[in-house]
Amino acid sequence: MKRLLALSFGDLKNISRDSMLLIALLVPFILAFLMRPILPFVREVLHRELSFELSEYYGLIMSFLILVTPMMIGMLSGFLILDERDEKILFFYSVTPLSKSGYLLYRVTAPAIVTFVLSFFVFYYIGILEYRIELLIPVLMVCALETPMVALFLAAFASNKVEGLALTKAFGILLLSPAAGYFIRSEWQYLAGITPAFWISKALIAGAGGGGGYWAFIAAGAVVHLLIIGMLINRFKNIYI
């Protein structure tokens, strides 16, 4: 436990020294503070001027908003791994009681926990959807799996932070998949199911009363995330361990 705490404090110190990492950590808070007043204002303006009801799209909007958190925390975690690789710190974990496997477990679980807590805050602080907590928790648990997926993806395929940033931007395009599940009414929408974010959005909207299949979407999302994480862990081990 002391070793994990020491590693956590080391991460906080590294984040405080790197403006890019610090911004990534602050983005979920900034997003929440901005969206809370902006969305009701935009809804009122659209309703008054165009008779357009934005609240009908709150489920989709919230899907995008909660996916920002795992993207940012995953990028942060991935960059920390890249830094430690460049400084050859990973080599030293093999001769410590923590071991490289313990380090990998920490890098997978700790960011996911942070993401879950921050996503919970973002969801309730923005407050545009009424949601039963027993349905929200599974959605956010699956959402939290996005974080280690992004982190391991960067660690496995990026040579440095510049490439990591480019890959993060490319990875962000996949976050558009929830729109397919919302606007495409036919079975063709499930082609977007190869992207994990699709299932998070489907589960969130279903749980808010926008359709059935909530638990099926949760299960599918968990399976897709875990399969991808498993493949990335194997690649990570082949490269670093």
SS3 content of the chain, % helix, strand, coil (to 5): 85, 0, 15
Q: Quick check: 151 and 111 in contact, CB under 8 A?
A: yes
**Cβ-based neighbour number of residue 55 at 10 Å:** 14
pLDDT digits (tens, 9 = 90+) for 41-95: 999 999 999 989 999 899 999 999 999 999 999 999 999 888 887 777 766 666 6
The domain locations on the chain are 2-240
pLDDT at 241 over 70: no
**Band of residue 3 on the pLDDT scale cut at 50, 70, 90:** low
Which is nearest to 139 in space by CA: 72, 57, 220, 194?
220
**Tokens for 118?**
């921050």
Tokens 């949601």 belong to: 131
Full-model pTM: 0.91
Asked whether 78 and 153 are in contact (CB, 8 A), the reply is yes
